[in-house]
Structures are given as structure tokens and as C-alpha cells.
Amino acid sequence: MAIKPITHQTILASGQQTLDIETQALVALKARMGQDFIQAVQSMLACPGRVVVCGLGKTGHVGRKIAATLASTGTPAFFMHAAEALHGDIGMLSPGDLLLALSHSGSGEEILTVLQSAHRLGNQVIALTGHPDSELAKLADIHIDVSVSLEACPHNLAPTSSTTAAMAMGDALAVACLQARGFGTEDFARSHPGGQLGRRLLTRVRDVMRQGQALPIVTANASMAQTLEEMSRKGMGMTIIVDDHGAPIGIFTDGDLRRLLEQRGDIRHLCARDGMSPSPKFIDANMLAIDAATTMDHRKITQMLVCSTEGQLIGALHMHDLMAAKVI
């Protein structure tokens, strides 16, 4: 098949027309939403089992995404391929589950057979179809009309607007359930522990801070040579200055060293007390690591001490620790 010459303007116009058609389909879909949608959400919330999303072909791909969205937002769900269901996978469906069946035509033999099996098990069935008069729409307990007047395909053949409408309706169901369940950011993070969002919402300062022997610590009377050696050996770009009881009274950073050299020149005879910044800033070990990163960014610093409410030193956090943990 030869590719016809086409101008940049024609390419852009084609893309814009596709978005226009699909936008109009979503606007029409919104206008049709009513009692069926409410009943579907209520049924999904009341389901004691899982929402089993079933589809075939393009609607099967849409169904996989809907199932994934539901599962990640507080509604237990998984996808079952309609054709595979007829060869053993129907065993994935258990009493107490709810079947969410997707079919644009609403007349596919496979999806109708799955519906019959679901009804024999006593499962409630919600159908999303593009044909309200179809057999699937009539046999389902609840039917949501996701029909479109026109596909974005210039031949009105390739599923485009119809799959967009079905996926958008799946999102609408998932979000409505999410809000009804009071599913919050921490719940979302628990569903995504391996991603950046999960790390940002679950990782706390105590999980990434340095402590024990990894902390650079000297007393106020330590020589400058000892102070710099501890700073270099521990690799935090600073040394913590503590009193005789181990409580932090100051911090000596790379910046403090540069300023001290500018002011005093020869610093070999000085001690840690002479160059430290007193009353160092500290954070709580239970603070979210991402909040600690924000605090450091606002204060234009790269490290902070971690102390108890009584002011006892627990650990220290460097911006590099947050980067290594992929919090930022």
C-alpha cells in the first residue's frame, strides 16, 4: 500500500478532527449518564467479591485498562478474556463476583455465553455496549449506553470514538467508586509501592536517613584537622558538633569551611566550635521524605539533622540520600 503525499497542514487537520469527534462523543456520553450509572456504582460498591471485567478484541484491550484502574483505586478487579473464558477461564468467576461485560455490538457469541455462565452462578452483570437494543444490553442486570454517533475513522469503521467512550466510562465508574470508598493518597500509594508515587507517599525520613556509625560526629573541642577528617570520611559534606551528652549544638558544612577560610586564612589552630553554625535545623524521623526534600529546597540546604522531640540526635539526611531512594 503506497503512502500518498500529504502536507503538514493536512496531517494536523486530521489529528484535530479526530480529537473533535472523540470530544463530541464524550460530551454526548456525559449527557446520557443517569440512573443506570448510579445503579452500576452502587452495585460495584456492594459487591462482596471482585469486579470481573470481560471483553474481546478492542473492547478487550479497553477492559484490561478498566480492570487495572479499578484494582489500583480500591475496587478489587481483574480482566477475563471472553474467548479464553469459554476454554476454562470462566473458572476465574466465583459466586459473589460482579461481571462487567464490554461489547460495542452487544451481540458477540463469546460475551453472551460468558453472561449466561455468570447468571448461572448468580453473578450480577453490568454491560457497557454501543447498542442499547442488543441482546447483551437486554440480558444484563444493568446496562450503560456508551454508543457514539460517529467513529473518528474516516470510513466509520475502526473503533476509535467507541473505545474512547468505553474507556472514559470505565474511568468514571472507577473514580465514583474511589470517592465513595474514601480512597485517599496513602491508599493509592499502597497500591503502587514500586512506583515513584508510592515512594513519595510512603517513604519517611527514618527509612532513608543515615544513623549510627555512618554519622559524622565530633565534639566542640575537636581540632579542625579532626573535624575535616570526619567530614571527608563520612561523605555527608558536613560534620555534626555535639556536647558532652551527645546532643547536637552545631553543624560544620562545606560552606562553613569556605567562609572560615575567607575570614581567617590559616585555620589549622582552630577547633570545631570556631567554625560551626550553631542551633542546627532538624526534622522529625516520621516526616515524609518528600516533605523533607521540600524543606531542604526552601532553606537552600542539602543536609539536615534528624532529632527526637527531646532534641536527641537520631540521624542525618542528605539530599543525595533522597535521590538514591528515588524519592526525588
pLDDT digits (tens, 9 = 90+) for 131-166: 999 999 999 999 999 999 999 998 998 999 999 999
Q: How far is CA 50 from the centre of its chain?
A: 21
Sign of CA dihedral 245, 247, 252, 253: positive
User: Are 102 and 145 in contact, with CB atoms under 8 Å apart?
Assistant: no
The set of cell numbers assigned to 199 is 515512594
> What's the rounded mean pLDDT across residues 300-328?
89
- Please check whether the domain covering 8-183 is classified as CATH 3.40.50.10490: yes
Tell me the C-alpha distance between 286 and 127, whole Å: 46
pLDDT over threshold 90, residue 324: no
The set of cell numbers assigned to 60 is 478487550
Reported confidence tier of residue 47, pLDDT bands at 50, 70, 90: very high
Per-residue pLDDT at 148: 96
> What's the rounded mean pLDDT across residues 40-52?
97
- Long-range contact set of residues 30-36: C-beta below 8 Å, sequence gap at least 24: 32/145, 33/172, 36/142, 36/143, 36/144, 36/145
Per-residue pLDDT at 202: 78
- Sequence-ordered list of residues with C-beta below 8 angstroms from that of 213, at least 6 positions apart, any chain: none
Per-residue pLDDT at 117: 94
Count H helices, E strands: the chain?
15, 12
Residue 6: CB atoms within 10 A of its CB come to: 9
Per-residue pLDDT at 264: 85
Per-residue pLDDT at 45: 97
Per-residue pLDDT at 5: 82
Per-residue pLDDT at 198: 67
Reported confidence tier of residue 107, pLDDT bands at 50, 70, 90: very high
Model pTM score: 0.70
- Portion of the chain with pLDDT greater than 70, in percent: 96
- Ranked by mean pLDDT, the top range of 44-53, 276-285, 291-300 is 44-53
Q: What is the pLDDT of residues 187-224, one digit of tens each?
A: 776 666 666 666 777 789 999 999 999 999 999 999 99
User: Are 251 and 280 in contact, with CB atoms under 8 Å apart?
Assistant: yes
Q: Domain map of the chain by residue range?
A: 8-183, 205-324
Superfamily of domain 205-324: CBS-domain (3.10.580.10)
Tell me the C-alpha distance between 62 and 53, whole Å: 10
User: Are 169 and 178 in contact, with CB atoms under 8 Å apart?
Assistant: no
Residue at grid coordinates 531512594: 325
> Which value, to the nearest 10 degrees, does the dihedral of the CA atoms of residues 115, 120, 123, 124 take?
60
3-state SS string over 124-162? EEEEEECCCCCHHHHHCCEEEECCCCCCCCCCCCCCCHH
Nearest CA to 115 out of 104, 131, 130, 99 is that of 99
Per-residue pLDDT at 265: 86
E-strand ranges in the chain read 51-55, 77-81, 98-103, 124-129, 142-145, 217-219, 238-242, 248-253, 277-278, 282-283, 303-307, 313-318
Residue at grid coordinates 478474556: 81
Q: What is the pLDDT of residues 59-88, one digit of tens each?
A: 999 999 999 999 988 999 999 999 999 999
- Portion of the chain with pLDDT greater than 90, in percent: 71
Burial of 103 (0-12, 13-18, 19+ CB in 10 A): buried
Q: What is the pLDDT of residues 300-312, one digit of tens each?
A: 888 999 998 888 8
Per-residue pLDDT at 196: 66
**Beta-strand pair 98-103/124-129:** parallel
Mean pLDDT of the chain: 91
